[in-house]
Structure 1
Amino acid sequence: MNKFAETLTPDNAVLAMIDHQTGLLVSCRDQDPHLMTANIKGLSMMAKTVGMPSVITASMPEGPNGPIMPEITDILGDNIINRAGEINAWKSPEFRHAIEATGRKKIIMAGIVTDVCLMFPAISAVAEGYDVYAVVDASGTWNSAVAEASIHRMTQAGVKVATWASVLAEVMDDWRSEHGLALGGVLGEHTSYRWVYNSFLQANSQ
Structure 2
Amino acid sequence: MPLIDRDDCAVVVIDVQSDFYPARRLDVDRLRFDEMVRQIAWITAVADRLDVPVVVTEEDPDHSGHTVVPIADALPAKAVTLPKNAFAVWDNPDIAAAIEATGRTTLVLVGIETDICVAHSAIQLHHAGKRVVVIDDATYSPGPAHERGLRRLGQRGIEMLSTKELFYDWMRTIQAADTFHDTHADLPLPPGVRL
Measure the CA separation in 2 of the matches of 1:183 and 1:121.
32
* Corresponding residue SS for 1:138: strand
Instruction: Give the CA deviation at 1:79.
Output: 3.4
RMSD between superposed Cα atoms in Å: 2.3
Distance 1:172 1:82 in 2: 32
- Cα deviation, 1:61-107, whole Å, max 9, x if unaligned, reads 111x1111122221214631112x22222210111111111221111
Please name the residue that 2:5 is paired with: 9
* 2:180 counterpart letter in structure 1: A
Aligned residues: 187
Q: Provide the C-alpha distance between the structure 2 equivalents of 1:7 and 1:192, rounded to a whole number of angstroms.
A: 19
**Could you tell me the TM-score, scaled by structure 1's length?**
0.81
Q: Distance in 2 between matches of 1:82 and 1:91?
A: 12
How far off its partner does 1:149 sit? 1.2
Residue 183 of structure 1 deviates from its aligned partner by 4.9
Compute the displacement of 1:31 (Å): 5.3
Give every structure 1 segment of 4 or more consecutive aligned residues whose post-TM-superposition deviation is greater than 3 Å.
Answer: 25-28, 183-188
| Residue of structure 1 equivalent to 2:166 | 167
Matches within 5 A, 1:109-148: 109-143=109-143, 145-148=144-147
1:181 Cα offset (Å): 2.6
The secondary structure found in structure 2 opposite 1:97 is: helix
Q: TM-score, normalised by structure 2?
A: 0.85
2:80 equivalent in structure 1: 79
2:14 paired residue number: 18
Structure 2: which 5+ runs fail to align?
A: none
Structure with more strand by fraction: 2
Report sequence identity in percent. 22
In 1, distance between residues paired with 2:36 and 2:53? Answer: 22
Matched residue SS, 1:189 = coil
Q: Is the CA contact (8 Å cut-off) linking 1:53 and 1:102 kept in structure 2?
A: yes
Deviations, residues 19-72 of structure 1 (Å, cap 9, x unaligned): 011112555528533322221212112211211011111111111x11111222
Residue 40 of structure 1 corresponds to 40
Which has the larger Rg?
A: 1
